[in-house]
Chains A and B, each alone.
Chain A
Amino acid sequence: MKRRVELRLPSRMEYLGVPDVVLAEVGGELGCARRRLEELGTAIIEACTNAMEHGNHLAEDLCIEIWLDLAEDLITVTVLDHGPGFDHAGWRPSDDVMRQRGRGLLIMREFTDHLEFGRHADGRFLTRMIKQMAPEEEPSADGSE
């Protein structure tokens, strides 16, 4: 089973939650564990924040595009924007816990199994994340995990 769900959103912050809602819906239908869907959803929100803010500079006439590719136990997410990209190869996590910005990449990396950046054939900047899905576990009869 392979399916793709595509979304196209104007670069407005109030739409950041839309892909998260769609992921919860389609992932829930597939029986994916809620925790994994929430982790991937959090990573998608970060990718979309970057795409809207740094890629499209919040220009409403520029849309970001999100593809959710659903396989049996794997979800691949692609986020496309019109920005120049950034030096992801040179990125290192900061040790300053109190910094006000710069956690987006860390969150994307920690909440997915694979994270890559590149350029689509049409020139748009591309963020791709892959996460293994697990089925939601039925609670056992004695209530234990």
Chain B
Amino acid sequence: MKIRERKRDGVAILEMSGKLMGGPDADAFDETLKTLIHEGCRNVIVSMEKVSWVNSTGLGILISGYTTLRKSGGELKLLKVSDRIENIFIVSKLYTVFASFQDEDEAVRSFS
């Protein structure tokens, strides 16, 4: 998994690509969030457009990130989740936890 970071209107957008499956991915994601929090950026959008698949360990990474940001007063939202991955969110009931958007403008505005 690769993470490309950019910022827009004070919101960090993390563009993930590849497979989200735990292991070293968890450390890289956790490290990125900790750096953002340290810099004072607590609102994060995770763009899933280029993520081909997620396994249950990968879901754990997103949950951990969500919890970390909530504890620091921020939020983690999802952008451009594919039908395939959305199916997993439905089955695991995680769609009740993560706010999800298809449009980036809308996702950014949701923090204001």
Contact = CB atoms under 8 A, between A and B. Distances in A.
Interface of A: 13, 16-17, 20, 35, 38-39, 41-42, 45-46, 49, 53, 97-104, 106-107, 110-111
B40 to A, nearest CB: 26
Given A42-B53, A98-B63, A49 B87 contact: no
A136 to B, nearest CB: 15
A102 B56 contact: yes
Contacts of A53: 57
Given A97-B94, A110-B91, A49 B55 contact: yes
Given A13-B22, A49-B55, A102-B56, A97 B87 contact: no
Interface in B54-112: 55-57, 59-60, 63-64, 67, 83-84, 87-88, 91-94, 96-97
A36 to B, nearest CB: 11
- Interface of A, helix, strand, loop or mixed by DSSP: helix
A46 B92 CA distance: 13
B96 A38 contact: no
Contacts of A102: 56
B84 A97 contact: no
B33 to A, nearest CB: 15
